[in-house]
Structure 1
Amino acid sequence: MLRGLQIRDMLLIDRLELDFQPGLNVLTGETGAGKSILLDSLGFVLGWRGRAELVRQGAERGEVIAWFDLPPDHPGRAVLDEAGVEIEDELILRRVNATDGRKTAWVNDRRVSGDVLRRLSETLVELHGQHDDRGLLDPKGHRALLDAFAETGAEREAVRRAWTARARAERDLASARGALEALAAEEEYLRHAVAELDALDPQPGEDEALDVQRRRMQAAERVGEDITRAHAALGLEGAEGMLIDAARRLDAAAAEVEGALDAAIEALGRAMNELAESEQGVATALEGLDFDPFELERIEERLFAIRGLARKYEVLPDALGEHAETLRGRLEALDAGAGDIAQLEAAVRAAAEDYDAAAEALGAKRREAAGRLDVAMAAELGPLKMERAVFVTEIGEAQAGPDGRDHVEFTVATNPGAPAGPLGRIASGGELSRFLLALKVSLTQATPGLTLIFDEIDRGVGGATANAVGRRLSALAEGAQVLVVTHSPQVAALGAHHWRVAKSVREGMTLSDVAPLGPQERIDEIARMLAGDTITEEARGAARALLAG
C-alpha cells in the first residue's frame, strides 16, 4: 500500500508531501490544476517512462520519494531479493532527476537501475489512465488482457520455446536443401575434379623435391664434361701419374744426397694424399651426375602436371591434396544429402507437433479463462448499471506465431436481443469507461497488494451512472487501496479520503498544491464540482446530500 509521497521541484510543484490511507482516496481539482503532474511524479519514482523534462524551471534537480507498506508475502520482495536489496516492512523509493536529464534511483538507500524500479512497480501500483479504453477498441490487445487474467505465463513461454525450435528446424531444413541443390548443380565438376586429383595424387613437398631433382639434372648436363676432364687431369694420365713418377725419382736419388730430399719427399706424400682425396670427390660427383635422360623427362612432366593443376584450382601445389579432400567432402555431403534431408524433415515434423501441443495447451487455458472472465465481467457490470449488457470473449483461429494461434476479441451486446459486436462499434464513450473499469477490476482482483490508480475512469458518465461507478470503486477499495482522479462529484463524495489539487501564482511563478480536505472543505469542493465557480447554498446542500449517501 502506498503510504506517502514527497515531491520537490517537479514541473509545477516546489514542495509537497502527501500521506495516503487505505480505502478510496479521491483527488479533485479544476482542469489544468496539476492532477496529471501528481501522477507523472508518482510514475517517475516508480521508473515509468513519461515526460522527458520534469525538473521545475529554475531548480537544479527534481526529487520524488514514495514509501509503501510491504507485507511479508508481497510479490515485490522477490524482485528486491533478486536485486540484493534488504527491507523489513517499509519500502522507500527515491529518484532524482537532474537538469541534464540524468536520473538516479535508490530503494531503501540502495542505488538501483530504472529496470529494477519498473519491475518492482509492477507489483506495487496499477495505473488506469483516462485513455485506457482506447486500447479496448483494438482487438490486438485483447489476447494480452485475457492472458493476464488467465495467468498463462508458463504456457506462453512453452509456446515461444516450441515456436523457436520449429523455426530453427525449418531454417536448418531450408539451408540443407539449398546447400544440396548447390552441390547437385556442380556434381559433374566435383566428380571430375576429384578423379583428376586422385589420379595425379600429389604429395605435400613433392613439388619442391621434384624441382630440386630437375635443377640438379639440368646442371649435370651443363658441367658434366668439365668435371670428366678434371677427373682425367687428376688421374694416372695426369697429375697423379706425374706425382708418382716424381716420387719414384726422388726416392732413388734420396740415398745419394744424405737427407736433403726428406722434407720434399714428405711434402710430396701429403700432396699425393690430398690429390687422391680430391680425385675421389670428383669421381663421386661424377657418379651423382650420372642420370637417365628419360628420368629427367618424367620428372619434368610430373612437375608441370602438379603446377598446372595448382593453377587450375587456384591453390598452392602443396595444398592440392587438401583441396582434393575438400572436394571429396562435398561429394560425400551430396551423396549423403538425401539421408540428411530425411532426418531434418523428421525434425521439422517433431518440432511442429511439439508446437501444436503447446499451442493447444495454451488455447485450452485461454478458452477456460475466457468463460471465467465472462462470468467475472457479468458480476462487475451489474453494479455499474449495465446489468443488461452481455460481455463475451470470443476465441477463434489466428495465424500461428510465438504467442500461439488464438485470435481473441471482446464483444458486447448492450441491450437484450441486440446482436453482439466489437466494443468500439457497440459501446458508447461512457459505456467504454465502465467496461474498462469492470475489466480492470476483473484482471486485478487476483493480484494482492496492488495500489490501484484510476485517472478519470468516470469520464463520459454522470448522474446515477457516475454514482454506480463511485460505489464500485468504493467497494473495490474495501479490501485494497484505490486512488481516483475524478471530475465527478458523485465519485468524489464516496471517497474515504479527499485531496484537492489547485494551481496558484506566487511571486510570478505558477505552482500546484495538493491539500487534504476536512468535512467543510469537502462540502465546498463537491459543491464547486456541482455548480462551477460560484458556489451556492443549493450546491452545498446537494453536496451534503451526496456525502450523506
Structure 2
Amino acid sequence: MLCQLSINNFAIVRFLELDFKAGMTSITGETGAGKSIAIDALGLCLGNRADANTVRPGANKAEVSARFTIDDVPFAKRWLEDNDLDVEDECILRRTISADGRSRAYINGNPVPLSQLKTLGQLFVGIHGQHAHHAMLKSEHQLTLLDSYANHKLLLDSVTKSYQRCKNVENELKQLQQNQQERIARKQLVQYQVEELDEFALIPGEFEQIEQEHKRLANGTDLIESCQSALQLLSEDDEHNIESLLNRAVTVADSLQSFDPTLKNIAEMLNEALIQVQESTSEVQDYLSRIELDPEHFAFLEQRISKAMQLARKHHVQTEYLAEHHEQLKAELSELSSDAGRLDEIQQQLDDSKLAYIKNAQKLSQSRQRYAKELNKLVTQSIHELNMPKGKFNIAVNFNPESQSLMGSDQIEFQVTTNPGQPLQPIAKVASGGELSRIGLGIQVITARKVSTPTLIFDEVDVGISGPTAAVVGRMLRSLGESTQVICVTHLPQVAGNGHQHMLVNKFTKSGGTETQMKPLDKEQRISELARLLAGDVITENALANARELLH
C-alpha cells in the first residue's frame, strides 16, 4: 500500500510530506483549495504525462516520490525481480520534472524509462476519476469494466495473440496477392528465357573450351608451318640441326673429361640438353600428327561462339557467365512456379488462424457471459442500496464472429431500467446524471473488490450524489477500505465521515505567493471539518451535533 507521498515544488505546493495508513482516508477542503493536487502529484509517480507547467513558478524542478510496501503485492515484487531492480520491503517511485519540461523517472533510486514506471505503478494504485461515469457510456469502456471484474487475463491474452496471428498471415497473403500479377509477368519472361537457353544448352566451362579450340583451328596453318620449322631446327635439317650439334658437343665433352675429371659436370649437362631436345622433337611430331584442319567443325565452333555472345548481350551478362546465368534463371523459375502452392499454403494458414481465433473468442465470450450475470446481480443490489429500489442493471453480451478485434468478438451493452414495467434499455438513453453516477460508483466499488491493486483512489466520484445515498456511498467505501487501502477525495460529509482517517487541504497566501497544504485531522478537527461541509462557513451547534453522528 501507499505509505508516504513527498511533493516538492509541484504546482502550488512548495513542500508536502504525507503519511498514509491502511483503511479509508478521506480528503476534503474548500472548493479551489486543490483537493486533487496530491492525486495529480501521485499520478506523476505512476507514469502520467508531465510538462513544464507542473513546476512551481520560480523553481528549477518539481520532484515527487511515493513509498509503497510490497509484501502485499507479489506481482510487483516479481516484476522488480524480472527487471533486475532492487527488491526490498518497500519500493520508492520517484519522478522529477525540470523547468524546461524534461522528465526523469526512478525506481528504488535506479533511473528507468517512463514506461517501466507506468507498468509498475499500475500494480500499486488504481485511480477512479470523477469522469469515469461518463466514460461508462462508451462501449469499449463497458467492455474494460466487465473484463476487470472477470479478471480473465489468460483468455484475453489468447484472443489477442490469435488475432495478431490472423493479421500477420492476412497481411502476408495480401502482399502475395498484390504481387501476383507482377510475378505472373515475370514468370512468363523467365520461362521464355530459360527455354531459349535450354535450347542452346551451354554447360559451365564450355564457352572457354570452345573458344580455345576455335582459336587453335583458326591458326591451324600457322601452327603446322611453325611445328615443321621447329622440327627442321631440332632434328630434320640435313646440314644443321640442334640434335646433331649437341651429339657432337657431347662427344667432345666426354673426351675432355678423360683428361680433366672436373669437366664431368659439363658433359652431364650437355647430355641432359640432348635428352630434352630429343623429347621436344617427339612432342612436336606428336602434336603435328594430331592437327586436323576441319572446316566444318571450325564453322560449328564459330557459330556456337557467335550465338553465345549474342545471348550474353541479350541477357546483359559476360559470355563466360552465361551458363551460370542460365542456372540462376532456372532456380528463379522454380521459385515462381511454386508461388501458387505458397498462396494455397498461406490461405490454409489464414483459415486455421481464424478458426483458432474464433475458438479463443468463444471461450472469452462464455467467460464474459458468466461474469456478466454475476455482475448484474451485484450492481442491481448496489443501485437498490443507492436509492434506486426499482432499478435493474443488465450487461448484454452478444457474440458476433464477423466482428473481430484484439478484445474479441463481443458487442457489450450496459442496460438499465429505473422504473417498474419499463424494458431494459441502453444506459445512455435512460439514466439521468444522478442515476448514472450511482450506477457507475456501484460498478467501480464492486470491480475494485475483485482486483488485486492494494491502493484505490476515488477522486470525487460522488459528484451528483447527496443525502441518504451519500451515506450509503460512504459505507461502501469504508467497507472496501477494510480489505484495501482507499483514498477518497470528496465534498460530501456523509462520505468523509466514513473514513478511518481524514486529511484537510488548505490554500493560503504567503509572501505574495499561493501555496497549498494538506494535514491529517484529529477527532475534534474532523468534527469541525464535517460541520463546515454540512453548514458552510457558519458552524452551528446543530451542525456540530450532526457531524458527530456522521463520524465513525
TM-score normalised over the length of structure 2: 0.82
The answer to whether 1:82 aligns with 2:82 is yes
Task: Give the 3 Å change call, closer, same or farther, for CA 40–289 of structure 1 in structure 2.
Answer: same
Q: Aligned AA for 2:15?
A: R
**CA offsets 1:7-52 (integer angstroms, 9 cap, x no match):** 2222211221222223321111223222232112111223333455
CA RMSD of aligned residues (A): 3.7
Deviation readout 1:321-378 (Å, 9 max, x if unpaired): 3433344345545665665555444433333322221111111111111111111212
Give the Cα separation in 1 of the matches to 2:95 and 2:242.
114
Q: Which residue of 1 aligns with 2:409?
A: 405
1:373 aligns with 2:375: yes
Whether 1:19 and 2:23 are equivalent positions in the alignment is: no
Task: Note closer, same or farther for the CA distance 1:439–1:299 as it changes in structure 2 (3 Å cut).
Answer: same
| Cα deviations by residue, 1:233-254 (Å, 9 ceiling, x for unpaired) | 9987786399999x99xxxxxx
What is the CA-CA distance between 1:508 and the residue it aligns to? 1.7
In the alignment, is residue 347 of structure 1 matched against residue 349 of structure 2?
yes
Shift of 1:405: 0.9
- Report if aligned partners of 1:392, 1:410 keep a CA contact under 8 Å in 2: yes
Q: Which is further off, 82-91 or 293-302?
A: 82-91
Give the secondary-structure state (helix, strand or coil) at the position aligned to 1:22: coil
Q: Give CA deviations for 1:65-94 in whole Å, capped at 9, x if unaligned.
A: 323333356432222222334545444434
Secondary structure of 2:107 counterpart = strand
Q: Which residue number in structure 2 is paired with residue 309 of structure 1? A: 311
Q: Is residue 357 of structure 2 the alignment partner of residue 389 of structure 1?
A: no
For 1:418, the equivalent position in structure 2 comes to 422
| Partner of residue 103, structure 1 | 104
- Partners of 2:241 and 2:521 in 1: CA distance: 141
Task: Specify the alignment match of 1:544 in structure 2.
Answer: 545
Q: Is the CA contact (8 Å cut-off) linking 1:79 and 1:116 kept in structure 2?
A: no
Mean CA deviation greater in 14-23 or 85-94: 85-94
For residues 188 and 113 of structure 2, what CA distance do their matches in structure 1 show?
A: 62
Tell me by how many angstroms 1:297 deviates. 1.5
1:155 is aligned to: 155
Does the C-alpha gap of structure 1 residues 147 and 239 become closer, same or farther in structure 2, counting only changes over 3 Å? Answer: farther
- Which residue in the other structure is 1:117 paired with? 117
> Which shows bigger deviation, 142-151 or 85-94?
85-94
Match of 1:511 among 505, 509, 515: 515
d(CA) in 2 for partners of 1:54 and 1:511?
14
The structural deviation recorded for 1:514 is 0.9
Distance 2:381 2:57 in 1: 48
Distance 1:242 1:201 in 2: 49
Q: In structure 2, how many angstroms separate the alpha carbons of the residues matched to 1:515 and 1:192?
A: 88
Match of 1:200 in 2: 200
Task: Determine the structure 2 residue equivalent to 1:58.
Answer: 58
Instruction: Encode CA deviations 1:430-483: one digit per residue, 9 max, x unaligned.
Output: 222222211111211022452211111111222333333223222322333221
CA distance in 2, matches of 1:29, 1:242: 127
Distance verdict in 2 for CA 1:23–1:169, change over 3 Å: closer
Distance 1:241 1:385 in 2: 136
What letter is aligned with 2:350?
Answer: V
1:446 aligns with 450
Q: 2:6 and 2:183 mapped to 1: Cα distance? A: 71
- Shift of residue 185 of structure 1? 4.7
Question: CA 1:222–1:453 in 2, change beyond 3 Å: closer, same or farther?
Answer: same
Deviation, structure 1 residue 205 = 2.8
Report the 3-state secondary structure (helix = DSSP H, G, I; strand = E; otherwise coil) of the residue aligned with 1:400.
Answer: coil
- Give the aligned partner of residue 128 of structure 1: 128
Q: Is the 8 A contact 2:52 2:98 kept in 1?
A: no
Distance 1:185 1:520, change over 3 A: same
CA distance in 2: counterparts of 1:505 and 1:39, whole angstroms: 22
Amino acid at match of 1:351: S
Gaps of 5+ in 2: 249-266
Of 429, 432, 438, the residue aligned with 1:434 is: 438
Task: Say whether the 8 Å CA contact 2:166–2:353 is kept in structure 1.
Answer: yes
Distance 2:378 2:445 in 1: 9
> Is 2:53 the counterpart of 1:49?
no
1:39 is paired with a residue of what secondary structure?
helix
Q: Residue deviations 1:155-189, cap 9 Å, x none?
A: 12212232233344444555556666655556655
What is aligned with 1:323?
A: 325
Of 361, 364, 367, which residue of structure 2 is paired with 1:362? 364
Separation in 1 of the partners of 2:18 and 2:528?
21
Partner of 2:466: 462
Q: Is the 8 A contact 1:233 1:239 kept in 2?
A: no
- Of 493-502 and 69-78, more deviation after overlay is shown by 69-78
Q: Does 1:488 align with 2:492?
A: yes
Structure 1 CA distance, aligned partners of 2:183 and 2:164? Answer: 28
Q: Using the alignment, how far apart are the partners of 1:536 and 1:174 within structure 2?
A: 73
Write the distance in 2 (CA, Å) between the matches of 1:63 and 1:25.
Answer: 23
CA deviation map 1:93-115 (0-9, x unaligned): 344334442314132x5555433
Are residues 228 and 81 of structure 1, via their aligned partners in 2, closer, same or farther at CA, if it must alter by over 3 Å?
A: closer
Q: Distance in 2 between matches of 1:336 and 1:8?
A: 67
1:63 and 1:393 mapped to 2: Cα distance? Answer: 43
Per the alignment, do residues 543 and 420 of structure 1 end up closer, same or farther by CA in structure 2, a change over 3 Å counting?
Answer: farther
The within-5 A match list for 1:277-292 is 291-292=293-294
Aligned to 1:261: none
Q: Structure 1 residues 420, 160: CA separation in 2 closer, same or farther (over 3 Å shift)?
A: same
Note if contact 2:2-2:455 (Cα within 8 Å) is conserved in structure 1.
yes
| Preserved CA contact (<8 Å) 1:391 1:411 | yes
Contact 1:396 1:406 in 2 (8 A): yes
Decide whether aligned partners of structure 1 residues 418 and 124 sit closer, same or farther in structure 2, where only a CA change above 3 A counts: same
CA contact (8 A) 2:104 2:111 kept: no
Unaligned runs of 5+ in 1: 249-265
User: Which whole-Å CA distance do the structure 2 matches of 1:329 and 1:361 have between them?
Assistant: 47
Please state whether the residue corresponding to 2:387 is helix, strand or coil: coil
Specify the code of the residue in structure 2 equivalent to 1:544: A
Distance 1:326 1:229 in 2: 49
TM-score by length of 1: 0.83
Deviations 1:129-161 (A, max 9, x none): 122222112112222221121112111221223
Q: Report if aligned partners of 2:91, 2:107 keep a CA contact under 8 Å in 1.
A: no
Distance 1:67 1:275 in 2: 103
Alpha carbons of structure 1 residues 389 and 543: separation in structure 2 relative to 1, 3 Å: farther
CA distance in 2, matches of 1:230, 1:475: 120
Q: Is contact 2:445–2:477 with CA below 8 Å preserved after alignment?
A: no
Look up the equivalent residue of 1:467 and give its one-letter code.
A
